[in-house]
Amino acid sequence: MKLLLAEDEKDLSKALTAVLTHTGYSVDAAFDGVEALEFLEKNDYDAIIMDIMMPRMDGIEALKKIRESGDFTPVLLLTAKAEIDDRVTGLDAGADDYLTKPFAIKELIARVNSMTRRNDSYAPKNLRVGSVTLDTEKQEVTSENSISLAQKETKLLEYFMINPGKELTTERIFEHVWKGDEGVSHDVVWMYVSFVRSKLQAINADIEITGERNGSYSLTLI
Amino acid sequence: MVESIYGEYKEKLQLILDNIVGRLSENNDEQYKKTGDKLYEHLIARVKSDESMREKCERRGLEANAYNALHELTDSIGIRIVCSFIDDVYENVRLIKSLPNIEVVVEKDYIKHAKPNGYRSYHMIIKVTAPFPDVCGNDPGEYFVEIQLRTIAMDSWASLEHKMKYKKNIAESELIVAELKRCADELAACDVSMQTIRNLIKYS
Chain A positions contacting chain B at CB under 8 Å are 140, 144-150, 191, 194-195, 197-199, 202, 204
Interface test with B, best of A144, A148, A189, A199 (most B CBs within 10 A): A148
Query: Above 70 in pLDDT, residue A81?
Result: no
**Domain regions of chain B by residue span:** 7-152, 157-203
**Domains and their CATH numbers in chain A:** 2-121 (3.40.50.2300), 124-221 (1.10.10.10)
Query: What's the mean pLDDT in A191-202?
Result: 94
> What is the C-alpha to C-alpha distance for residues A169 and B46, in angstroms, rounded to an integer?
54
Q: Among B66, B5, B17, B64, which Cα is nearest to B45's?
A: B17
Q: pLDDT band at residue A12, thresholds of 50, 70 and 90?
A: very high
pLDDT of residue B74: 95
Radius of gyration of chain A from its Cα atoms, rounded to whole angstroms: 18
Closest chain B residue to A203, measured at CA: B112
CATH placement of domain B7-152: 3.30.460.10
pLDDT of residue A119: 61
For B113, which of A144, A150, A191 is closest by C-beta distance? Answer: A144
Q: What rounded mean pLDDT belongs to chain B?
A: 93
The predicted-structure confidence for B41-77, as pLDDT tens digits, reads as follows: 999 999 999 999 999 999 999 999 999 999 999 999 9
Q: Averaging pLDDT over each range in A39-53, A75-89, B76-90, which range is the top one?
A: B76-90
For B193, which of A144, A195, A204 is closest by C-beta distance? Answer: A195
Look up the pTM and report it.
0.76
Contact A38, A8 (CB under 8 A): no
CA distances from A71 to A46, A55, A126, A203, B57 (A): 11, 22, 13, 25, 59
pLDDT of residue B101: 93
Q: pLDDT band at residue A82, thresholds of 50, 70 and 90?
A: low
Query: Above 70 in pLDDT, residue B1?
Result: no
Q: How many CB pairs under 8 A join A and B?
A: 42
Q: Which helix (H) or strand (E) holds A216?
A: strand A216-221
Query: Above 60 in pLDDT, residue A121?
Result: no
Q: Which residues of A179-213 are buried (b: 16+ CB within 10 A; e: fewer)?
A: eeeeeeeeebbbebbbbbbbbbebbebebbbebee
